[in-house]
Each structure stands twice: as C-alpha cells, then as structure tokens.
C-alpha cells in the first residue's frame, strides 16, 4: 500500500505554442507554454485538485501537491482522489486575452486525454488562478460536451452565476479558523503551550494577505476575538501590537496595490519572511510552500504554527520546531476548507438545485408557528431580533458554513484522538488516518487481497 501511494497514477506534461504578437518586421512571435496535470490516486473518482499559474511550476512540485490532495481529501472525508495542475507562467507577464487563450488551450489538451470532466477530473483555483479561469475551463468543456447536463460540475470555484456556490471564496480561510478554534478548545492542548484555552485575545501573525490570509484573519478577529498583530506580504509587513483592522487593511490594499502605508499600523518595507520571526501565539503562513525552512526555524518566536498554505514548513524545519516544542497544525487538515466546499459545489452542480431552495420558506413558516404557540402559552413575547434569528430559514451560505464547520471539527477530532492515542504529532496522525482511509478503499475494491 505504501509503495502504491508513493507514485502518481497519471502524469501529463504538455507544451503548446502561444502567439504573443509580431516583431518589428511584422513576423509573428510565439512562446512555448509548459503545463502539467497529475492524477495521484484513482481509489476514488473523480480526482480533485487546483490549477496554479506560477514560474515555479515543475513536475516534481505538481506530483507532490497531487499526493497531498489525496491525503487532504481523505482527511476530511471528501470522496475524491488527489490531483493537481500547473502552468509555468507569471500571470503579470500576459494580457487577459492571452491568459484566456492559455487557459482554454490547457483545457482542450486535458479533454483530449480524458483528464477533465465531472466524473473524471475536477480542477479548482490555486495560486495565480481564480473564478475567472474556472469559468473559462467550464465554457471550453461545454463546447466539447454539448448536452452534458452535469458539465458545470467539471470545475469548482466558479462564479456563482456560472454554477458556483456561495461561501466558496472564504472557504479555505474559514476552515483555517475552525481548526484553530477546535485546537484552542481541545482539552489540554493550549495548556501544553503555556496558554489559556480559546482564541480570545491571542496574538496572531499572518504571512500572506491574499484570499486565504485575508479570510483567516477576518474570521480570527471577528469570530474568535483574536488579535492579528502583523500581516506580511511580498513587499513587506504591517504591524500593530493592539491588533490590525483587517477590513480597513484590505480596503487599503485594494486601493493601493500594497499593504504598506496603511494608517492603522507601522509599515516595514522588505522581505515578507521577516514577519515569521515576530513574537506571537499563533503563526499562520498563508503564502507559498517552504517559507519556514532550516535557516529560519530556530528564529521563530511562536507557540503554534498553522499551515494555511500548502507545505509552508519543510521537513528539516519541522525537526527543529518539534525539538523546540512548537506545535504544528498540518496543511492537509488546516487548508482543506477549500476542497470541502468545492465538494459541496460539485454536489450542487450534480443535483441542479441551490442549497436551501427547497426548505427555506418551510422552515421559516414552521418555526414561526412554533414561536407563536410558545408566546401564547407563556405570555412572553420575543424581541424582533430574537424572533428573526429563531425563525430564519437557512440560505445557501448558512448551509455551506454549517457543513464546513462540522467537517473541520470532526476531522480535527479524529486527528487529535489519533495523536493522543499513538503519542505522535498532529501531522503524523493526520497522515496515518488518511492512509488508512485510502487503504480501506483499495481493500474494498479487491486491489490488495
């Protein structure tokens, strides 16, 4: 079984030309685009994994990330095999029209190899991509699969108007918050770090203020009452020991293109990695992989690292951190909120109905009748706010949040129980649980007699 999961089932490397324009003599100029799609495990179909646009994309990286997706899906009981894709480009070097042609050609190549479809392989956004690119892939697939009612389920992370789901944008960051909340309230977990239980007033440093970093910080402050004392980005960091105003900082970033110069904190231009060594209770790397490595692991001044990015802590760094008693919450659970809500989106597409549509009004009417009866029999009237909260029918976002919370809480509980029972760290416990689940699938299929 271990030999099987060490290798990827399918690796597809492609090269295709992109017309960039014309030179001074009017001759067309072409550039060769390098791209990959890797399917790690077919123990469950479809396989699932993001597509990233980055100059750092290479076959080894995509294979490693595909393997992580297998274990991530198993950790949170999402019935997909793992996959990953990557195109070796820097989005900033291309026009929107060129990016669309690259994305659509990539999708066409996948279709030719039967590596794209709602029952085969379902991509999602990753670093450098978003709802726009997913809409292009969906549209390309539909052009080749006319009449396929399930075609919207061929990608997730789409715009809501294209069959996406409400709550997907913030899903990964919200999942980060749920795991941190469960850890902070787990029996004995915080005491081992010399901290009181709960997230209330705990100091947090976040590296990366993109989608994941922003939403994680937002929920930590607004739902967990934690203090985000520093945010690091590619061009530097902003600090405030009393806690940053996350919404105002995001508005400043959207307006200026940078977090630097924010009036609600002190700006420190330079390398974002500097924020990793700031004193805090929780350090949340939410940027790229390998940001915590052997050269800086000894300088970290935190009680717990929360891996919001994929593989932000290297194996050598982990050895140093474990020896120093720094707790690590592993990426295959922490950032699994995205794939969990992608699963909900996929189910929505296959069912062809918005979550909450069938039951919202029924729930509101039945709850109103119940409250009316209670008020008549008790003589006490609820306030308008109390009545509205009790009688409210669940919207799609409410259902998504509830499903995500239950998924992350249950997965953390499984990981925590295994760690305590086997006296092992959380990462090993998460991998142990995931490998057992994958092995069970193979055994039930009769692969391993």
pLDDT of 403 reads: 94
Q: What 3 state SS string does 225-261 have?
A: CCEEEEEEECCEEEECCCCCCHHHHHHHHHHHCCCCC
**Strand 203-207 relative to strand 327-329, pairing:** unpaired
Question: What's the confidence (pLDDT) of residue 375?
Answer: 86
Residues in the chain, pLDDT under 50 = none
pLDDT for the residue 5: 80
Q: How crowded is the C-beta side of 416, counted as CA atoms within 13 Å?
A: 18
Nearest Cα to Cα of residue 355 among 373, 369, 341, 338: 341
Query: Residue 291: its pLDDT value, please?
Result: 86
3 state DSSP class of 148: coil
What pLDDT does 447 receive?
66
Quote the CA–CA distance of 402 and 395 in Å, as a whole number. Answer: 11
The residues, any chain, with a CB within 8 Å of residue 310's CB and separated by 6 or more, are 65, 68, 289, 331, 335
Element (H, E) at 180: helix 171-185
Cross-strand bridge partners of residue 233:
236
Q: Name the residue among 123, 128, 134, 125 with its Cα closest to residue 161.
A: 134
The pLDDT value recorded for residue 190 is 92
Alpha helices (runs of H) in 36-81, residue ranges in sequence order: 59-75
Of 341, 344, 349, nearest to 150 by C-alpha is: 349
Query: Given the structure tokens 């409250």, which residue do they identify?
Result: 371
At 306 the pLDDT is: 96
- Domain 2-162 and domain 166-359+394-449 have a common topology: yes
**Residue in 111, 105, 113, 166 with CA at minimum distance from that of residue 133:** 105
Longest dimension (CA), the chain: 89
Whether 133 and 85 have beta carbons less than 8 Å apart is answered as: no
Neighbouring residues of 448: CB distance < 8 A, sequence distance ≥ 6: 1, 439, 442
How far apart CA 182 and CA 198 sit, in angstroms, is 9
Structure token digits, residue 220: 């930590």
> Cα dihedral sign for 228, 202, 285, 53?
negative
Domain 166-359+394-449 homologous superfamily, CATH: NAD(P)-binding Rossmann-like Domain (3.40.50.720)
CA distances from 117 to 36, 137, 145, 334, 335 (A): 17, 10, 9, 27, 24
Q: Which two tokens stand for residue 93?
A: 């070097």
CATH architecture of 2-162: 3-Layer(aba) Sandwich (3.40)
Residues in the chain: 449
Which burial class, exposed, middle or buried, applies to 385 when counting CB atoms under 10 A from its CB (0-12, 13-18, 19+)?
exposed
Q: Is 84 a catalytic site residue?
A: yes
Write down the pLDDT at residue 415.
96
Question: 84, 303, 348, 360: which one is catalytic?
Answer: 84
Cα torsion 248, 268, 201, 280 to 10°: value is 150
So where are the chain's domains?
2-162, 166-359+394-449
Contacts for 231 with CB less than 8 Å, ≥ 6 apart: 205, 206, 207, 209, 213, 217, 237, 238, 244, 249, 259, 275
pLDDT tens profile 109-118: 999 999 999 9
pLDDT of residue 449: 52
């Amino acid at each position: 079984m271990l030999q099987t999961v060490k290798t990827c089932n399918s690796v597809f490397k492609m090269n295709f030309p992109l017309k960039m324009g014309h030179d001074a003599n009017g001759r067309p100029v072409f550039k060769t685009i390098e791209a990959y799609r890797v399917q790690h495990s077919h123990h469950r179909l479809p396989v699932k994994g993001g597509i990233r646009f980055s100059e750092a994309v290479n076959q080894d990286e995509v294979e490693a990330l595909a393997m992580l997706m297998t274990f991530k899906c198993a950790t949170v009981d999402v019935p997909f095999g793992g996959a990953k894709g990557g195109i070796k480009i820097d989005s900033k070097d291309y026009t929107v029209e060129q990016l669309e042609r690259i994305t659509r050609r990539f999708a066409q190549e996948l279709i030719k190899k039967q590596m794209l479809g709602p029952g085969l392989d379902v991509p999602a956004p990753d670093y450098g991509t978003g709802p726009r690119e997913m809409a292009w892939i969906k549209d390309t697939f539909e052009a080749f699969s006319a009449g396929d009612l399930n075609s919207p389920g061929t990608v997730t992370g789409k715009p809501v108007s294209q069959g996406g789901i409400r709550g997907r944008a913030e899903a990964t960051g919200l999942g980060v918050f749920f795991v941190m909340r469960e850890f902070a309230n787990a029996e004995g977990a915080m005491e081992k770090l010399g901290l009181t239980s709960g997230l209330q007033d705990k100091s947090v440093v976040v590296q990366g203020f993109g989608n994941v970093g922003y939403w994680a910080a937002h929920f930590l402050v607004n739902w967990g009452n934690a203090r985000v004392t520093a945010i690091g980005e590619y061009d530097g960091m902003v600090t405030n020991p009393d806690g940053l105003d996350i919404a105002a900082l995001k508005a400043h970033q959207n307006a200026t293109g940078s977090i630097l110069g924010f009036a609600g904190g002190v700006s420190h231009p330079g390398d974002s990695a500097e924020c990793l060594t700031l004193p805090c209770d929780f350090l949340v790397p939410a940027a790229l992989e390998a940001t915590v490595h052997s050269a800086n692991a000894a300088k970290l001044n935190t009680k717990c690292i929360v891996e919001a990015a994929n593989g932000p802590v290297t194996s050598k760094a982990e050895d140093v951190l474990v020896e120093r008693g720094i707790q690590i919450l592993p990426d295959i659970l922490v950032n699994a909120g995205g794939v969990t809500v992608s699963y909900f989106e996929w189910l929505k597409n296959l069912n062809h109905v918005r979550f909450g549509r069938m039951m919202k009004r029924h729930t509101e009417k039945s709850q109103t009748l119940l409250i009316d009866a209670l008020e008549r029999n008790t003589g006490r009237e609820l306030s308008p706010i109390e009545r509205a909260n009790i009688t409210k029918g669940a919207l799609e976002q409410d259902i998504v949040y509830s499903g995500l919370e239950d998924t992350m809480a249950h997965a953390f509980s499984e990981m925590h129980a295994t760690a305590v029972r086997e006296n092992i760290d959380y990462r090993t416990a998460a991998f142990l649980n995931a490998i057992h689940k994958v092995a069970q699938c193979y055994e039930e299929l009769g692969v391993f007699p």
